[in-house]
Copies of this chain bind each other. A is one copy, B any other.
Amino acid sequence: MTDSIALGSTKKYSVSIIGASGYSGAELTRLLLRHPLVKLNELYAFSQSGASVAELYPALSCDKVYKPYGGETESDIYFLALPHGEALQLVPALLKAGKTVIDLSGDFRLKSVLEHEQFYKQTKLPDAVMTYGMPELFHDEIKSANAISNPGCFASSIILGVAPLFLGCDSSKKVLAINCTSTSGISGAGRSSKTELSFSEMSENIRAYKVGVHQHTPEIMQALGTSATSPSFEFTFTPMIGALVRGIYSVLNVQLDSPAEMDEIKELYREFYRNAPFVRVRDSMTEVKHVYRTNYCDIHIAHATTSGSLVIVTAIDNLLKGASGQAVQNMNIMLGIDETTGLL
């Protein structure tokens, strides 16, 4: 984005959220209400239209009323937090009107329409792609973009956990295989009324699902420079939900083609993330609690062997670094202001 501003300026950007009544939308609302350079404008929602934020989310203490979205373009910036497929319909008009757009759905993440169809069971046009908003990998592209596709929650926790092995300058090792087991908080399933997500069903429970076929697979492969259709390494992903509301905890078993030295790997990661304010490469084990209600991604190299086997553990808050926090981080970068504004 071109009009960067100095922090401390009195100018505030007007921001609206389309799809504001879900958990990601509510978390965006919370973050934007206290962002010093933002004036939160309209909150659009569909089934909850007419309700106030205060009714649905009393902890936010916000009197705004959800409205149905009718194509308005009066704000500077639009966040979209809609079910998959819906942003595809709305974004083109917003872009045409010159708006800055950050979309939290999967609609504009994949360059391959074939992979999009395979994993989302939806068709889309080849130009339905926007800059992939993972600041630690694509900072410059984000800075100059006016439209961002915000990464998926699982994808964020996985890509950040292995990216240095693929994209780090000094990485002379080749990744042969990654087995990934990620446990998500139940809020990741959205503000839902499914029996299988009720307290009575999920307390004292853990459940895997979509093993090997989760829709975040292709964006992970794409971000790492390969593809789901013709991958450069064997990738197996087992997503799970557990008895917690927020958080994603990923255990990444990586097989390298050569021996792995713990110190060497740590150094590679530290170097790769040296300018990333929200990634912490930690010497001791991380936990969901360590990143709870923060925008941090914690990474711990837990195990490294002479046979080239690594265990990397990452933790994020799925609603922050995995969704709304990262979306605001992307907005900050696009606005040319400090990346951490409103997020610490």
- Seen from chain A, the residues whose Cβ lies within 8 Å of a Cβ on chain B are 23, 34, 58-59, 61, 177, 179, 181, 183, 185-187, 189, 191-195, 197-209, 211-212, 234, 236, 238, 240, 242-247, 249, 251, 253, 255, 280, 282, 285-294, 296, 298, 302-303, 305, 307, 309, 311, 313, 315, 344
Contact of A199 (CB < 8 Å), options: B58, B203, B249: B203
Pair B311/A211 contact, Cβ less than 8 Å: yes
| Further contacts, 16 of them, CB under 8 A, given A58-B298, A191-B195, A238-B313 | A23-B200, A192-B198, A193-B193, A193-B195, A197-B200, A199-B201, A203-B245, A205-B247, A208-B251, A208-B302, A208-B313, A211-B303, A212-B302, A212-B311, A243-B244, A253-B253
Closest 4 CB pairs of A and B: A58-B290, A179-B253, A211-B302, A212-B303
> In whole Å, how far is A315's beta carbon from the nearest beta carbon of chain B?
8
Pair A199/B181 contact, Cβ less than 8 Å: no
Interface-central residue, A187, A212, A242, A290, by most chain B CB under 10 Å: A242
Q: List 17 A-B contacts (CB under 8 A).
A: A61-B296, A177-B255, A181-B181, A183-B183, A185-B204, A189-B200, A198-B199, A199-B201, A203-B204, A203-B243, A204-B288, A206-B247, A206-B287, A208-B285, A211-B303, A236-B253, A242-B243
A55 (CB) vs chain B CBs: closest residue? B284
Contact of A207 (CB < 8 Å), options: B201, B202, B243, B285: B285
Residues in B neighbouring A187, C-beta threshold 8 A: 200
Pair A206/B234 contact, Cβ less than 8 Å: no
